[in-house]
Structure 1
Amino acid sequence: PPMGDPAAATLDGAVAQYRRAFFDRDTAGVAQLVGPGILAPGDPSLRFVTEHFAQAGAETGIDRALRLDTTVMLIDDPVKRVDNMTMAWGLEGRVPFLDHELVELAATCPPEYKIAHEGKGVLKQAARRVIPSEVIDRPKGYFPVPALTHLEGPYLDMVRDALYAPTAKERGLFNTDAVDALLANPNGKLTPLRGNELWQIALLELWLQRHGVTGPVA
């Protein structure tokens, strides 16, 4: 795991390892995509991670990353999604692994145990008392919503229509030259985490149009 690498032992090293493993694009890449006057100065994402890692209480790269996951990423992403989807259908979700006593116990484990056996060694060992090994050792299921990496046919037409729509041009969120370049080679630009860059900006534009967000952004 990147955060268990000796290079992550220092604050600067931990930030660099985290950025390399989890950032899907850099500021320069975003600056090429968006219109003038839209991008925030500096690198807000990198600044946020650096400030969070610098806080007292986590001395290793693993613990710094896990603290960020526990207090920020977990709350604002998977937990929020589970809550939104269950409540939308009148269900009350429960997340037993987030019981505060269990979380507090897990936090006391030495860092090397936290990343053993792909990060779930302790949990798997404890679970073998009650769950069959064929369940524990089977391949992990796919959790994120599948994203298109290859655009063609009706999906490419939909993307082109969205990005060339009058509302998109009026909004001015994306650099027109960058949009033209992506549409000229729709499958030629993948992000470091293997996402199709054209598909990603198209999804944002489609969401803005569906929710009636109009007018210039700057």
Structure 2
Amino acid sequence: MNKSNYNHKTRLSATVIAILLGMSGFFNHGLFEVLQGNKATNGFYIEAIGETHRFWLYGTEGAFTLIPNFLITGIFTMLVSCAIIIWAIKFIQTKHGATIFLLLMILLTLVGGGLGHIVLFLPTWAYATMINKPLDWWEIKLSESVRKVLARMWMPMLVLTSLSWLIVMELGIFGLVPNQTNPEIILNITFGFVLLTVLLANLTFISGFARDIEERSFQV
């Protein structure tokens, strides 16, 4: 790892979001797949949350799996989710860290870890590839005044991204929205928070780039 190109805030952003992705795989899919027990999935597309454990009409957490058994699918999903969390904490900044993260997320998708997370893990992987690279292009494109504003936004954006994804996780399972019981509206709100999370995640990484550039300039 080239110390001079190590982007701390970019790494922290990738770590936090990857942990959240691992948590959603574990709690929103793997846990409920295990609860469905030792029975056949009857196809590649499954509903991770079965009727017995469902809290609202659309709280099914659809997923794809190559494993034709709910119990085994759930165990694999939980194991891969844990591997993603550990990798995010310990190794995502290493030479092949982003690539391994991508492969683990693809594996999670293939063993019942969900489908909606694809719109978040792909940009997270792309940004994570910049952890140990110079940010010259971003330094050119972001003027000094813009960088200073974005740098101050980094932590608030990371917090908002995390909260937004946690809300997605809650809605996926429980569908709890204050003063709202219409499942169609709740479903639309869920999709809205997924898109909001993706937008906030992009802003988080870009502001993280700005913060890393500013900190490197200060050190120089």
TM-score class, shorter-chain normalisation, is: under 0.3
Compute the TM-score of the two structures, normalised by the length of structure 2: 0.24
| Larger RCO: 1 or 2 (CA < 8 Å, sep 6+) | 2
Compute the TM-score of the two structures, normalised by the length of structure 1: 0.24
Q: Which has the higher helix share?
A: 2
Greater Rg by CA: 1
